Amino acid sequence: MDYIIGIDGGGTKTVGILATETGEIVAKAQAGPSNYHVVGIEQTQAVLTEIISKLSTKVDNFQLESLSFRIGMAGLGREEDKKVIGQICDEIGINKERILTHDAHIALVGGTGKQAGVIVISGTGSIVYGINESGKEVRAGGWGYLLGDEGSGYDIALKGLQAIARASDKRGKPTLLTDLILKKLELNAPNKLIRWTHDASRDEIAQLAGLVFEAAEMNDEKAGQIIDNAFTELACAVETVTVQLEFTQQFDIVFSGGILLNQPLLADKLQRWIEKIIIGSTVIRPKHEPAYGAVLLAMEEI
């Protein structure tokens, strides 16, 4: 029997799925982060090797050369990144029947169960990506936390931290965020945030976004403004992508990422806006995880 391995390689974790050529899941494995921009080439190679090793134990006479691979990773829309990951694949024996693509692509296919559609991702980072019936691809956002990622968990959390700084200086109004975030971080004064933010990782900062939503639900003015800004940015990206794609048939817009899947204050507002403004679309939650989206892509090629 021929098998497919779909891999979702991220900056936090890597998920691999072994499936039959008809899409039946045989095994699933998880390992650490494999975005080489974050962890380096050697660690990326080690993690991919670990994923394949874990999956290989589930099949008798496991042979790499008989498998079809689809790997989705952040940044793999760029040719230079495909070259780097391609070399890693050659090193570990994935040298046939492979397709390398970016993480938003496999998330879209997994989320909608098909190629055509739009995905709105708001987690630690953010991006809106879509493919129309003719195969045209358009993206907005995804520039990373230094240049963009508007409407993401990191963006929301950072604006919350900035609101505390402004309130502390009396440049802005007092905000509930001060007490909520300082308590969470076990800090006794706003100026202690300077050291904390310099030492914190991007993920650690993004995890504070939930407190911004908590403050907004308590009618904190500044927190509400931050959430409104996140909505505006994501709505702008959705409109930009859908206008350029010019869908001629009904299409799905799938929400993905921890913010949109777990924070109804933002997700519901964005969904209501889409249903009113983006004619012909239907907002859905993901049907499958991104790693299975990689499997579905492979099935289309077989």
Ordered DSSP codes for 2-44: -EEEEEEE-SS-EEEEEEETT--EEEEEEES---HHHH-HHHH
The architecture that CATH gives domain 116-285 is 2-Layer Sandwich (3.30)
> Closest Cα partner for 277 from 226, 236, 224?
236
Length of the chain: 302
**Cβ-Cβ contacts under 8 Å for 92 (sequence gap 6 or more):** 45, 48, 49, 52
C-alpha–C-alpha distance, residues 47 and 33, integer Å: 7
Model confidence pLDDT, tens digit, residues 177-198:
999 999 999 999 999 999 999 9
* The predicted structure's pLDDT at residue 90: 84
Residue intervals in the chain for CATH 3.30.420.40: 3-113+289-301, 116-285
Tokens describing residue 255: 């929400």
- Per-residue pLDDT band for 61 (boundaries 50, 70, 90) equals low
Model confidence pLDDT, tens digit, residues 190-219:
999 999 999 998 889 999 999 999 999 999
* The predicted structure's pLDDT at residue 239: 97
Q: CA 125 from chain center: how many Å?
A: 6
- What CATH number has the domain spanning 3-113+289-301? 3.30.420.40
* The predicted structure's pLDDT at residue 96: 65
**How much is the pTM?**
0.87
